[in-house]
Chains A and B, each alone.
Chain A
Amino acid sequence: MTMMNALSRHLVIRGVELLGLLTLAVLGLTLGHSPYALGLLTLLAIYAISLIGLDATVGYLGQVNLAHAGFMGLGGYAAGLMVAHFGVGLLPALCVSIVIGLVLGGLLAVPALRLEGPQFALATLSFGTFAVLCLNELESITNGAQGLTLVRPALLGKGTLDALSFYWLCLALLAFVWLGARRLMEGRWGRAIAALKDSPIATDAMGIGALRHKVLAFAFGSALGAFAGGLYAFNLGFLQPQAFGYELSVTLLLGSVLGGRKTVWGALVGAGLVVLLPNLLSNRSVFLVFAGVGAVLAIGRALLAASRREWSFAILAPALAMVLLLGIALKTPDLESWRKGLFALILFAVVVGLPDGLMGFVSQTLARLVRLPQPPLPPAAALDAVLPVRPARGATVLDVSGLKLYFGGVRAIDGVSLSVAPGEVLGLIGPNGSGKSSLVNVVTGLYVPTEGSVTLDGSRIEAKGLLAASRHGVSRTFQNLQIFGDLSALDNVSVSLRGAYRLMWPLVAAGLGHAEEQAAQSHALALLELVGLTEKARIRARDLTYSDQRFMEIARALASRPTLLVLDEPAAGMSRPDVAKLKTVIARIKARGISIILIEHHLDVVAELTDRVVVLDGGKEIAQGVAEDVRRNPLVIEAYLGSAAHTEAAA
């Protein structure tokens, strides 16, 4: 019975996709005689490919990418020049486009590495502008502003390809890219990139690699953009640098947002709107119908919210925008002159009112109306397979020696030495600002110490960042949660598994990644079982309760089979029953032979679970020993509560 349901769900989703592609095919057959309509449909397929690429940086990475048109231009010219100067066929020319996109995309990602938000947008804008500038100025190669006229070559060389065959080619390529991209993005790469969007810090700390995936996302997206650009060049038979400037980048960006993020359907819908909007505008009555429907929906939603007294900008503003849209549309006989403005209003309504884009909204609504069961999860693997017991190797696992960390005049750590034995739980306590977090940040590779060394399992940890430390065998949770909010609990853990994904991407794109995916899921389930979150595996991390998120972070930190686990205030904000559960979890981890550094304020947690405690104050160690003894140490009391005289006076 469940098999049938799972199969039927699969069939329904794939069936709908097939329907979409079939519709395009049918349209091609029926409208193929009109070169104009055919040109538009081909353009739609090309833009859809481009937007699937753009989704990698905009939908998954969550950044504003204004370089995409530039990549289309570079890909277009690369293919065009190959044909014009070397007479190669269509397919080899397109391969050149892809390579150009990959290489330049990867190169652009390097300086754009550390950038977020507006700076990233600016860097991409600069690249896009520069690409067009070069295409315009290198007249001897590209014919500059006057443009390049191209003849569409046959697939492999001799002769030309007619428009209808070209359309079928583009459709076939779209289907190919669609399937491949979907498989890749629904698998570990998409998850890793989405993780990167939610928390680059955790992405590094869990050993996934923020840099690597950022570059991959950008290179992948740009390669598809360049590929689409190559097709674009041969669709129109004419290339001009100015066509690939800021305006096109904004159009693509907005098309992507309009269609919806993280969905290939969104790319198709977005592409459709972008390509067909000008035509829609020249047919006034059709546009008015669409605008009317949109306005009714937006106003209806606003009225519904108003009746519940839920006044919010996100509900009201789209309604106002749609009213303005209708107003302009009704008052202007020539809609084409308001094209940019009308596009902007539609976008505003969607960006504010439907943050997941049109397809996001549609799929969410459909999910609520039509309940298709999810495919069942595989059984959890045995814990021994996922997290084997660590044999003790050597006397100490972690050695910190003479550590100093100064930030200008602030001495965060002022000469601390400690060590952690295999399988030991070391408590690290001290008042706020004593240097606990700074210490673990050095141990986990985030900060470069001013002096001193950190050695793990005999080899020195160079402060080369969270990723290197993670590879070394250190894992951690965070005082301020760094969950991958958009991913499910299960995905949070599975994306962090080390060595679980070995299959090369072409094979995954071809659809052969299923077995590996199942194995990874069963491993991840084992870890979720350890922390007691098995039933909540499918819930999106940001929708979990606060305590559950903390437990999930622990499971996630274990995914990389660490030698040393740092828990940074895991009990903060937890209720009593949850604290009790936490103690059980930590005991289980300890039983696996993993050494733990535990930063905590909850004294009973410290007392029960730690083997030893180190107390810091003002960047220096002031006491060390068993929790019981440390608690009675006068220095410790003074550090926490002030001098004895003061406490007496206060009492």
Chain B
Amino acid sequence: MDFSIFGQMAESGAAMGMAYALIAYGFQLTYAPSKSVNFGQAECVMLSAFIALTLIGTGMNYALAVVLTLLAGSLLGMLVERVAVRLALQQKNEGWILLTIIFGLFGGSVAENVWGRDDRPLPTPIPGDPIAIGSISVTWYEISIVVGALALMVVIELFRRKTLLGKAVEAVAADPEVAGLMGINSNTAIALAYALSGATAAFAGILIAPITTVGPTMAAGLILKAFSVAVVAGLESGFGVIVAGLVLGMLESLTSVYVGSGWREAPGIILLVAILALRPNGLFGKATVRKV
């Protein structure tokens, strides 16, 4: 009896953890070339989910709606880069933290006024009935999160490694000056990175919506959790976010049942602060040497 509770909680935790991992992966995409992340990412997840809601509501084919939402998410990402990030990067300061927070604030307000303040279900062709695997109940939604997140991460990795555009972004990540000398416009590369990050946020929104419903606060706690995953794994650790995501998701879920539902965010936070204090580059990150 006990294992089934443990197993069930671990399963649902792992599924949400993959969602965090996907968003954390999006953070990495922008961190690599620009050392910046979108603090308003939660609002981007939410806005994309609302866009998906509207598109599906028009009756169009679900797959088409998903593709268009991904596109919208990419455009949103590029908007964030142009409006909130580029200036700070040019001035070589960290003003993008504040500006992306402000962007998120504005995005939240837009969502509330355009779509209303209520939580709504996202129509999805994915069936809601659970499958029993042993004594553990798994829903297709959860499977779709895991499969979807992995698929998108693989696709983006392939893009980064195999295409010319992707390699250009890598070049900027490695050394922006030299990349510039080679004719790669770092602004474009960073914009592209933000577009990809926006797409991951949009996809995450679509994947988690059947569980969280679509509403202005659907991604509220998400920013801290996805950030925790990104930082615990290391902001340049690639697929390390998957491990960190699974661990943090399960930790959260198990804490909620064995300690208390209100405490479920505590281990993640403690782990985050511990990692930040002891290994600022994350569990899977590379240590850097300070040069004076």
Report the Cα distance A137→B264, complex, angstroms.
11
Q: A118-B37, A250-B105 are in contact. Are A480 and B99 (CB under 8 A)?
A: no
| Residue B156 CB within 8 A of the other chain | no
> Residue-by-residue, is B104-131 near A (CB-CB < 8 Å gives 1, otherwise 0)?
0110111011000000000000000000
| Residue A125 CB within 8 A of the other chain | yes
Report the Cα distance A115→B274, complex, angstroms.
12
Listed stretches B14-22, B50-58, B90-98, B188-196; interface member? B90-98
| Residue A337 CB within 8 A of the other chain | yes
> Residue-by-residue, is A262-282 near B (CB-CB < 8 Å gives 1, otherwise 0)?
000000000000000000000
| Residue B273 CB within 8 A of the other chain | yes
Which of A116, A121, A347, A355 is B102 in contact with, Cβ under 8 Å?
A: A347
> Residue-by-residue, is A85-123 near B (CB-CB < 8 Å gives 1, otherwise 0)?
000000000000000000000000011111111110111
Which of B36, B99, B228, B277 is A351 in contact with, Cβ under 8 Å?
A: B99
- List B contacts of A339 (CB < 8 A): 109
Asked whether A344 lies within 8 Å of B102 as measured between CB atoms, the reply is yes
| Residue A441 CB within 8 A of the other chain | yes
| Residue B165 CB within 8 A of the other chain | no
Chain A minimum-CB-distance residue to B262: A137
Q: A250-B105, A479-B292 are in contact. Are A129 and B98 (CB under 8 A)?
A: no
> Residue-by-residue, is A189-218 near B (CB-CB < 8 Å gives 1, otherwise 0)?
000000000000100000000000000000
Report the Cα distance A126→B108, complex, angstroms.
21
Which of B83, B101, B108, B113 is A317 in contact with, Cβ under 8 Å?
A: B83
Report the Cα distance A355→B265, complex, angstroms.
35
- List B contacts of A83 (CB < 8 A): none
> Residue-by-residue, is A248-260 near B (CB-CB < 8 Å gives 1, otherwise 0)?
0010011001000
| Residue A352 CB within 8 A of the other chain | yes
Report the Cα distance A122→B277, complex, angstroms.
12
Asked whether A341 lies within 8 Å of B87 as measured between CB atoms, the reply is no
| Residue A290 CB within 8 A of the other chain | no
Asked whether A119 lies within 8 Å of B276 as measured between CB atoms, the reply is yes
Which of A121, A341, A441 is B113 in contact with, Cβ under 8 Å?
A: A341
Asked whether A338 lies within 8 Å of B262 as measured between CB atoms, the reply is no
Asked whether A343 lies within 8 Å of B105 as measured between CB atoms, the reply is yes
- List B contacts of A113 (CB < 8 A): 277
Query: Within residues 20 to 65 of chain B, which ones have a CB less than 8 A from any CB in chain A?
Result: 35-37, 39
Report the Cα distance A64→B39, complex, angstroms.
12
> Residue-by-residue, is A303-320 near B (CB-CB < 8 Å gives 1, otherwise 0)?
000000000011001000
The DSSP consensus for interface residues of chain B is helix
Asked whether A111 lies within 8 Å of B276 as measured between CB atoms, the reply is yes
Asked whether A345 lies within 8 Å of B106 as measured between CB atoms, the reply is yes
- List A contacts of B103 (CB < 8 A): 344, 348
| Residue A437 CB within 8 A of the other chain | yes
Report the Cα distance A143→B202, complex, angstroms.
39
| Residue A478 CB within 8 A of the other chain | yes
Report the Cα distance A133→B260, complex, angstroms.
12
- List B contacts of A478 (CB < 8 A): 292
- List A contacts of B284 (CB < 8 A): none
Query: Within residues 278 to 292 of chain B, which ones have a CB less than 8 A from any CB in chain A?
Result: 280, 289-290, 292
Report the Cα distance A58→B263, complex, angstroms.
30
Query: How many residues of chain A are within 8 Å of chain B by beta carbon?
Result: 53
Report the Cα distance A133→B95, complex, angstroms.
29
* CB within 8 Å: A-B pair count: 125
Asked whether A137 lies within 8 Å of B292 as measured between CB atoms, the reply is no
- List A contacts of B94 (CB < 8 A): 64, 116-118
Report the Cα distance A437→B277, complex, angstroms.
28
Q: A340-B108, A341-B109, A341-B113 are in contact. Are A130 and B276 (CB under 8 A)?
A: no
Report the Cα distance A473→B289, complex, angstroms.
25
| Residue A407 CB within 8 A of the other chain | yes
| Residue A127 CB within 8 A of the other chain | yes
Which of A64, A118, A313, A340 is B86 in contact with, Cβ under 8 Å?
A: A313
| Residue B239 CB within 8 A of the other chain | no
| Residue B203 CB within 8 A of the other chain | no
Report the Cα distance A241→B108, complex, angstroms.
22
- List A contacts of B224 (CB < 8 A): 122, 125-126, 129
- List B contacts of A257 (CB < 8 A): 98
| Residue B231 CB within 8 A of the other chain | yes
| Residue B178 CB within 8 A of the other chain | no
| Residue B141 CB within 8 A of the other chain | no
- List A contacts of B276 (CB < 8 A): 111-112, 115, 119, 122-123
| Residue B154 CB within 8 A of the other chain | no
Asked whether A351 lies within 8 Å of B97 as measured between CB atoms, the reply is no
Report the Cα distance A129→B35, complex, angstroms.
24
Q: A118-B94, A480-B292 are in contact. Are A340 and B101 (CB under 8 A)?
A: no
Chain B minimum-CB-distance residue to A144: B262
Chain A minimum-CB-distance residue to B93: A62
Report the Cα distance A571→B266, complex, angstroms.
54
- List B contacts of A137 (CB < 8 A): 260, 262-263
Asked whether B37 lies within 8 Å of A446 as measured between CB atoms, the reply is no
| Residue A522 CB within 8 A of the other chain | no
> Residue-by-residue, is A378-406 near B (CB-CB < 8 Å gives 1, otherwise 0)?
00000000000000000000000000000
| Residue A434 CB within 8 A of the other chain | no
| Residue A496 CB within 8 A of the other chain | no
Asked whether A407 lies within 8 Å of B289 as measured between CB atoms, the reply is yes
Asked whether B105 lies within 8 Å of A341 as measured between CB atoms, the reply is yes
| Residue B143 CB within 8 A of the other chain | no
Which of A127, A130, A340 is B266 in contact with, Cβ under 8 Å?
A: A130
Query: Within residues 322 to 344 of chain A, which ones have a CB less than 8 A from any CB in chain B?
Result: 332, 337-344
- List B contacts of A121 (CB < 8 A): 39, 97
Report the Cα distance A498→B260, complex, angstroms.
53
Asked whether A133 lies within 8 Å of B265 as measured between CB atoms, the reply is yes
Chain A minimum-CB-distance residue to B230: A122
| Residue A42 CB within 8 A of the other chain | no
Q: In whole Å, how far is A105's beta carbon from the nearest beta carbon of chain B?
A: 15
Asked whether A340 lies within 8 Å of B273 as measured between CB atoms, the reply is no
Q: A337-B112, A341-B109, A343-B105 are in contact. Are A119 and B262 (CB under 8 A)?
A: no
Asked whether B292 lies within 8 Å of A201 as measured between CB atoms, the reply is yes
- List B contacts of A119 (CB < 8 A): 231, 276, 280
Q: In whole Å, how far is B81's beta carbon from the nearest beta carbon of chain A?
A: 12
| Residue B5 CB within 8 A of the other chain | no
Chain B minimum-CB-distance residue to A249: B101
| Residue A488 CB within 8 A of the other chain | no
Which of A129, A250, A317, A437 is B269 in contact with, Cβ under 8 Å?
A: A129
Asked whether A338 lies within 8 Å of B113 as measured between CB atoms, the reply is yes
Q: In whole Å, how far is B99's beta carbon from the nearest beta carbon of chain A?
A: 6
Which of A118, A341, A343 is B110 in contact with, Cβ under 8 Å?
A: A341
Which of A117, A129, A348, A480 is B265 in contact with, Cβ under 8 Å?
A: A129
Asked whether A133 lies within 8 Å of B266 as measured between CB atoms, the reply is yes
Asked whether A253 lies within 8 Å of B98 as measured between CB atoms, the reply is yes
Report the Cα distance A347→B98, complex, angstroms.
10
Asked whether B292 lies within 8 Å of A351 as measured between CB atoms, the reply is no
Report the Cα distance A480→B292, complex, angstroms.
7
Report the Cα distance A130→B105, complex, angstroms.
22
| Residue A136 CB within 8 A of the other chain | yes
Q: In whole Å, how far is A474's beta carbon from the nearest beta carbon of chain B?
A: 14
Report the Cα distance A337→B98, complex, angstroms.
23
Q: In whole Å, how far is B285's beta carbon from the nearest beta carbon of chain A?
A: 12
Q: A250-B105, A446-B292 are in contact. List 8 more A-B contacts (CB 8 A).
A: A64-B101, A117-B97, A122-B272, A133-B265, A137-B260, A137-B263, A342-B109, A441-B292
Q: Would you mind naming 28 contact pairs between A and B with Cβ atoms under 8 Å apart? A: A64-B97, A117-B35, A121-B39, A123-B276, A126-B224, A129-B224, A129-B269, A130-B266, A133-B263, A137-B263, A254-B105, A313-B86, A332-B113, A337-B113, A338-B109, A338-B113, A340-B106, A340-B109, A341-B110, A342-B109, A344-B103, A344-B106, A348-B99, A348-B102, A351-B98, A351-B102, A355-B95, A479-B292
- Chain B: residues with CB nearer than 8 A to chain A? 35-37, 39, 83, 86-87, 94-95, 97-99, 101-103, 105-106, 108-110, 112-113, 224, 227-228, 231, 260, 262-263, 265-266, 269-270, 272-274, 276-277, 280, 289-290, 292
The 5 closest A-B pairs by CB, nearest first: A341-B109, A111-B277, A344-B106, A344-B105, A340-B109
